[in-house]
Amino acid sequence: MRSKLIARLIGAGLLGGAGYQLGSWLGSAVGSGQLVLVLALTVAVLGGGIGMIFAPAVTIAPFNHTRRRLAAMAVGDLVAVGVGVLLGLILSALLTFPLGALPGLPGSVAPVIAAVAACYISVTVLLARHRELADYVTQRKFLSGAPRKPVESPRYLLDTSAIIDGRIADVSATGFLCGDLLVPHFVLRELQAIADSSDPLRRNRGRRGLDMLARLQAESSMPVEVLEISANGYPDVDSKLVAAARELSYPIITNDYNLNKVATLQGVKILNVNELARSVKPVLLPGEEARVRIIQEGRELNQGGGYLEDGTMIVVENGRSRLNQEVEVTVTRILQTTAGRMIFAQIATEGLRR
């Protein structure tokens, strides 16, 4: 509250002074004497009122937003911002002398506008291209014989469903995924709420998620960090996670189908563990053999059904008589559906086992 009052007073003073200067300039352009004073005071009061009303919105809110962004930024991004501001100030200093020579009010305002524009453009360009510039510099150093610095590690946001599922721990242990795993504090709070639930099933899921986080911190080659980021304007955890991913440009690791679709529509990159599991399933081709236990009757006459180790359903012709037996089968055809793959096979002439 005190900071808002200070911002209002400062805004009223600055815009009031600027309004007085503007009013004096306008008055001298259209008249003289008392008209100049009336215009100067009128515009000063108007500017002071605008500053009093809108100063917190254009000072405190952007400051808090910038502070949150800086707290969540990687070191490379912070360096890019600092270098961009420095370059912008140097460029604005070069423009100050010619712009300051303009007569009247433009000579006072133009250098400030040029400084803000130069800093903004420099920071924007460097934030968008600093990784490419860093790669270019490191490549030049590498070619010249200088030691090459390591490339900045990627960062991923973890969703509650991926933490509870736990397979991300196995994936990170294999080395196929590298970088930092970030757990937003609101995801951690949701996980704790699930672990404290009165429903035994939810409670077990929450505790499993906490155990998986502890396992990731202890065993994973990927560092796990709790990310403090504010997302108070969003109603649920999924919306907060998507907003954080968009703001930080980090991908989300999740198993949630709905979150996958919503985030993709908003331009957020998603790494779905279920899609990864489907993509690495072993592929059986027609003519190859496999061993399967027939556990149920099929829809058609004499058919039996079972599942491979990866969960793929397999339908065995003339397999009903082999119910509850493990048999060797030969794949005849494979049907790809929206729900997954279905394999059709027949009992091999050899290798039956009761």
132 and 65 in a common domain: yes
pLDDT of residue 151: 54
Distance CA 99, CA 288 (A): 79
Q: What pLDDT tens digit does each residue of the chain (354 aa) get?
A: 677 777 777 777 877 787 777 777 776 766 666 667 777 778 778 877 887 777 777 777 777 777 777 677 677 777 877 888 888 888 888 887 787 777 766 777 788 888 888 888 888 887 777 667 766 665 554 444 445 545 567 889 999 999 998 888 888 888 888 888 999 889 999 999 999 989 888 899 999 999 988 888 888 778 888 888 777 778 888 898 998 888 888 999 998 888 989 999 999 999 988 888 777 776 778 888 888 999 988 888 888 999 887 778 889 998 888 888 899 999 998 887 655 678 899 988 644 444
* Contact assessment for residue 189 and residue 144, using Cβ atoms and an 8 Å cutoff: no
Which two structure tokens, joined as six digits, stand for 309? 């180790």
The DSSP-derived string for 97-123 is: HHHHTSSSHHHHHHHHHHHHHHHHHHH
Distance CA 41, CA 33 (A): 13
165 and 108 in a common domain: no
3-class DSSP assignment, residue 334: strand
Question: pLDDT digits over 223-277, tens only?
Answer: 888 888 777 778 888 898 998 888 888 999 998 888 989 999 999 999 988 888 7
The DSSP-derived string for 143-182 is: HTTPPPPPPPPPEEEEPHHHHHH-HHHHHHHHTSS-SEEE
- Domain of residue 71: give its range: 1-139
The verdict on residue 98 lying in a domain is: yes
CA 301 to chain centre: 52
Query: Which long-range contacts link 117-120 to residues 24+ away (Cβ below 8 Å)?
Result: 118/87, 118/88, 118/89, 118/91, 118/92, 119/84, 119/85, 119/88, 119/89, 119/92, 120/88
324 and 298 in a common domain: yes
* b/e sequence 320-343, b meaning 16+ C-beta within 10 Å: bebeebebbbbbeebeeeeeebeb
135 and 13 in a common domain: yes
Instruction: Kindly give the residue spans of alpha helices, DSSP state H, lying in the chain.
Output: 2-30, 34-72, 75-100, 105-143, 160-165, 167-174, 185-195, 200-219, 237-248, 257-265, 273-279
Laid out side by side, the sheet with 155-158 consists of: 224-227, 180-184, 155-158, 252-254, 270-272
Query: Quick one: DSSP state of residue 320?
Result: G
Pick the last residue of a domain from 251, 279, 307. 279
The verdict on residue 112 lying in a domain is: yes
pLDDT of residue 146: 47
320 and 263 in a common domain: no
Burial, 158: exposed, middle or buried (Cβ in 10 Å; 0-12, 13-18, 19+)? buried
| Full-model pTM | 0.48
CATH code of the domain covering residue 200? 3.40.50.1010
pLDDT of residue 138: 56
186 and 173 in a common domain: yes
Query: Quick one: DSSP state of residue 352?
Result: -
pLDDT of residue 352: 43
332 and 244 in a common domain: no
The verdict on residue 354 lying in a domain is: no
pLDDT of residue 225: 87
Distance CA 148, CA 137 (A): 9
Number of domains in the chain: 3
